[in-house]
């Protein structure tokens, strides 16, 4: 699951630097709603990668939908300006990194803009210590819009917004046959209170190695859109114990696919086209891979 996520908390609480996605201490609201920004990530699918670092400049919200061509003329409210490097691979299984807090007006927000400094971003480093080549397809300050699945309601009492940055789809590898990563930002934004999650364990059967065991580094994808228009919405990856968690999914039915670790031919992929997600709950979905 190569996902980088920002969680924007529109609340008056000020929390520690790193959070599980469930953590949101209560405190009295001050005048107006405030937005707190966090960062979360699901594991990067390439097990040869040690780190993926981006330099986050700011996060901004707008009450107007971003149609792509209208972004320059839209009114944006900056809710966080961390101006720092973030290692996306340290944020897995729903962990979040606090990026700041800002004042917002209670309203419905339909667009989220993430600004990076690609020149300052450390990029991708392999586990052998070498630096990967990243084609950023831009320079200096670059702003990227998030896919807002549903209007994000921020009442006077505050709300929580998650901007999910999918690392796997944002950094496709070797597309040009040059061994480099290309950067094309893939992000979505949701109201955290409106979401649920899917979690479980991926294991292999006894046909490989003679015993049942966990599958580490398998890629888990949540698809939406229905039979006529399935598309990947969010990705996740199993840890050493075979556990995965895909968080911040709006209620509905998802297709869950599990692909074996990168470069592994021992197991076939598995697909289940009817996994339900309910608001405020975590759905358990365990998977066994077969040859």
**Amino acid 14: pLDDT:** 26
- Residue 223: closest CA among 263, 191, 194, 259: 259
Of the listed ranges 8-22, 208-222, 263-277, the least confidently predicted one is 8-22
Does position 42 have pLDDT exceeding 80, yes or no?
no
Does position 282 have pLDDT exceeding 90, yes or no?
yes
**Amino acid 19: pLDDT:** 29
- Residue 165: closest CA among 2, 5, 39, 40: 5
Average pLDDT over residues 147-165: 82
Contact 152, 162 (CB under 8 A): no
**Amino acid 260: pLDDT:** 85
Our CA angle for 83, 88, 91, nearest 5°, is: 110
Confidence class for position 123, pLDDT limits 50, 70, 90: very high
Please identify, in words, the CATH class of the domain defined by 196-289: mainly beta
Of the listed ranges 1-15, 153-167, 171-185, the least confidently predicted one is 1-15
Rounded CA gap, 88 and 237, in Å? Answer: 13
CATH 2.60.40.1120 placement within the chain: 196-289
pTM: 0.77
Average pLDDT over residues 139-166: 85
The DSSP code sequence of 173-234 is BSTTSSS-EE----EEEEEGGG-EEEEEEEEE-TTTTTS-EE-TT-EEEEEES-TTS-EEEE
Average pLDDT over residues 174-186: 85
């Amino acid at each position: 699951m190569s996902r980088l996520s920002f969680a924007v908390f529109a609340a008056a609480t000020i929390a520690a630097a790193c959070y599980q996605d469930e953590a949101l201490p209560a405190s009295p609201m001050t005048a107006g709603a405030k937005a707190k920004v966090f960062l979360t990530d699901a594991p990067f699918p390439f097990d040869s990668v040690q780190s993926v670092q981006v330099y986050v400049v700011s996060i901004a919200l707008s009450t107007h939908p971003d149609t792509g061509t209208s972004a320059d003329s839209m009114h944006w409210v900056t809710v966080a300006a961390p101006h720092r490097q973030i290692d996306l691979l340290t944020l897995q299984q729903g962990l979040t990194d606090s990026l700041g807090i800002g004042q917002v007006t209670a309203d419905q927000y339909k667009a989220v803009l993430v600004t990076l400094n690609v020149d300052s971003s450390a990029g991708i480093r392999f586990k052998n210590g070498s630096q990967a080549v990243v084609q950023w397809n831009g320079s200096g300050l670059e702003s990227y819009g998030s896919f807002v699945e549903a209007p994000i309601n921020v009442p006077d009492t505050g709300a929580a917004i998650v901007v999910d940055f999918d690392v796997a789809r944002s950094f496709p590898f070797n597309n040009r046959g040059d061994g480099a990563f290309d950067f094309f930002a893939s992000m979505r934004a949701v109201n955290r209170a409106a979401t649920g999650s899917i979690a479980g364990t991926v294991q292999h059967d006894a046909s490989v190695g003679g015993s049942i065991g966990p599958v580490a580094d398998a890629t888990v994808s949540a698809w939406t859109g229905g039979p006529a228009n399935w598309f990947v919405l969010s990705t996740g990856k199993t840890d050493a114990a075979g556990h995965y968690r895909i968080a911040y999914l709006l209620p509905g039915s998802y297709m869950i696919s599990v692909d074996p670790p990168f470069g592994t031919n021992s197991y076939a992929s598995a697909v289940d086209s009817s996994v339900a997600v309910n608001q405020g709950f975590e759905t358990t979905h365990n998977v066994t891979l077969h040859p």
